[in-house]
């Protein structure tokens, strides 16, 4: 019996839990797929569900996550139904006592959500059809949540995607640490120094009133897009802990940095990492079919910067965590965050090298709409 079977049972009254397997490869929370003895044909939704232990070092107020989830999933489900979108939102599964979460005797915070039946996700994008669907998923998500007033969403992770704050964190980690100064570390330090001025581009635009806060997903990387197996179409965007007020640019930048890197963010071959412009064009095309309805002209002006910035940002976050002794992201070995930082920095370099093409591509897609 898996050690977490009894925890899974808290969320499965009247059923027997058959298996609990580790699921996905999240860097923050611990995720398990639970299989129950429910009948696959009769109760497909109850056969499997996702059990997660929230990392409360990162998410200090996990109750706020559950509260937000109730608010926006209900809102988005209703809007999807009213407008005829074929779209699924994961459901919060209550405990036997009707709570949204379970706290175990050690004080761990557990919650369960439904698995989007008949769907799967991919770690990287290999063709433009999937790329289009990934972009479409983000556009649909942002569209369905776009009329939810931001005041209704709590801030579940303060400072998330605020790049100037990540740079402060980097400076602190750098001044306090005893890292070994290898050639890779020097490359990273130099890389960050050269881009300091650029780091505030989105926050400055927000302060100047050029960009506005909206409800955003926060973590729309490729493997959070659920693709319906029977049709190959995107049906959901999961991993909803960071849905909160933000800039839509955080999402599009994150989606592009994750989608346009065919080697994936975990590759050891960091020197070979490249941005794939064809995949990028297909993601943006899918995204804009939905996002056209709510993007402003100023939003378009910052699309290129967002792709470059979010990639750079994740590199800085990984590198800072390496310098700080791997305290935020889960790691498999002590150099893991350094390797991940190098991947993102190489990708940033490639995005910079393609700047003219990417800007041209964006221009070509938006001009007819403006």
Chain positions contacting ligand GN1, by CB under 6 A: 26-28, 58, 157, 219, 221, 239, 242, 254, 265, 314
At closest approach, how far in Å is the CB of 67 from ligand GN1?
17
Q: Is 366 helix (H, G, I), strand (E, B) or coil?
A: helix
Q: Are 119 and 232 in contact (CB under 8 A)?
A: no
239 binds Mg ion (CB under 5 A): yes
The least distance separating ligand GN1 from the CB of residue 330, rounded to whole angstroms, comes to 8
Nearer to Mg ion, 239 or 321 (CB): 239
The option from Mg ion, ligand GN1, none interacting with 121 (CB < 5 to 8 A, set by class) reads none
Quick one: what does residue 95 bind among Mg ion, ligand GN1, none, with the CB cut-off 5 to 8 Å set by partner type?
A: none
Structure tokens belonging to residue 67: 């509260």
Shortest approach of ligand GN1 to residue 91 CB, angstroms?
A: 19
Binds 313: which of ligand GN1, Mg ion, none (CB < 5-8 Å by kind): none
Q: Which is nearer to ligand GN1, 119 or 224 (CB)?
A: 224
Nearest residue (CB) to ligand GN1, 242 versus 261 = 242
Cβ closest to Mg ion, residue 65 vs residue 248: 65
How many residues does the structure list for the chain?
370
The HSE-up count of residue 311 (CA atoms within 13 Å, CB side) is 30
Rg, Å, the chain Cα set: 21
Q: Which partner from the list Mg ion, ligand GN1, none does 27 bind, CB cut-off 5 to 8 Å by kind?
A: ligand GN1
Q: What are the Cα distances from residue 91, in Å, to 33, 216, 299, 347?
A: 15, 18, 31, 35
219 binds Mg ion, rule: CB under 5 A: yes
| Residue with Cβ nearer Mg ion (10 or 258) | 258
Given Mg ion, ligand GN1, none, residue 314, with its beta carbon under 5 to 8 Å by kind, binds ligand GN1
Shortest spacing between CB 129 and ligand GN1, in angstroms: 23
Query: Do residues 168 and 203 lie in contact, with contact meaning Cβ atoms separated by under 8 Å?
Result: no
CB nearer ligand GN1, residue 289 or residue 350: 350
Structure tokens at 267: 């590759």
Cβ-contact 367, 323 below 8 angstroms: no
- Residue closer to Mg ion by CB (options 219, 265) is 219
The angle at the Cα of 71, spanning 311 to 136, to the nearest 5 degrees, equals 45
Alpha helices (H) in 302-335, listed in sequence order? 303-323
End-to-end distance of the chain based on CA atoms, in angstroms? 59
Shortest reach from residue 27's CB to ligand GN1, in Å: 4
Q: How near is the Cβ of 219 to ligand GN1 at its closest, in Å?
A: 5
Quote the least distance from Cβ 242 to Mg ion, whole Å. 7
DSSP assignment of 205-256 equals HHHTTSS--EEE-S---GGGEEEETTT--EEEE---TT-EEE-HHHHHHHHH
Contacts (CB under 5 A) with Mg ion, residues 292-311: none
- Residue labelled with tokens 């556009």: 139
**Site residues for Mg ion per CB under 5 A:** 219, 239
């Amino acid at each position: 019996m898996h050690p977490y079977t009894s925890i899974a049972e808290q969320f499965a009254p009247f059923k027997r839990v058959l298996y609990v397997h580790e699921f996905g490869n999240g860097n923050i929370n611990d995720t398990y797929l639970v299989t129950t003895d429910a009948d696959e044909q009769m109760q497909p939704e109850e056969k499997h569900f996702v059990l997660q232990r929230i990392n409360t070092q990162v998410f200090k107020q996990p109750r706020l996550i559950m509260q937000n989830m109730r608010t926006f999933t209900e809102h988005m489900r209703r809007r999807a139904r009213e407008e005829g979108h074929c779209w699924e939102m994961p459901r919060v599964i209550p405990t036997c006592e009707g709570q949204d979460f379970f706290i175990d005797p050690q004080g761990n915070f557990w919650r369960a959500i439904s698995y989007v039946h008949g769907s799967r996700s991919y770690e990287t994008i290999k063709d433009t059809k999937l790329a289009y669907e990934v972009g479409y998923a983000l556009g649909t998500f942002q569209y369905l949540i776009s009329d939810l007033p931001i005041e209704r969403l709590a801030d579940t992770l303060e400072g998330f995607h605020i790049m100037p704050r990540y740079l402060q964190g980097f400076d602190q980690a750098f001044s306090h640490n005893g890292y070994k100064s290898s050639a890779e570390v020097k490359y990273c330090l130099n890389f960050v120094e050269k881009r300091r001025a650029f780091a505030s581009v989105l926050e400055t635009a927000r302060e100047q009133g050029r960009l506005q806060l909206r409800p955003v997903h926060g973590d729309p990387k490729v493997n959070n897009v659920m693709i319906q197996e029977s049709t190959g179409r995107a049906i959901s965007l999961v991993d909803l802990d960071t849905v909160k007020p933000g800039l839509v640019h955080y999402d599009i930048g994150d989606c592009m940095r994750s989608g346009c890197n065919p080697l994936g963010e975990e590759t050891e071959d960091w020197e070979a990492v490249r941005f794939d412009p064809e995949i990028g064009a297909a993601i943006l095309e899918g995204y804009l079919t939905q996002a056209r309805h709510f993007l402003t002209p100023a939003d378009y002006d910052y699309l290129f910067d967002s792709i470059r910035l979010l990639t750079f940002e994740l590199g800085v976050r990984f590198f800072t965590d390496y310098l700080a002794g791997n305290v935020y992201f889960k790691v498999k070995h002590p150099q893991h965050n350094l390797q991940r930082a190098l991947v993102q920095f190489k990708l940033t370099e490639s995005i910079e090298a393609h700047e003219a093409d990417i800007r041209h591509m964006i221009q070509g897609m938006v001009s007819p709409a403006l």
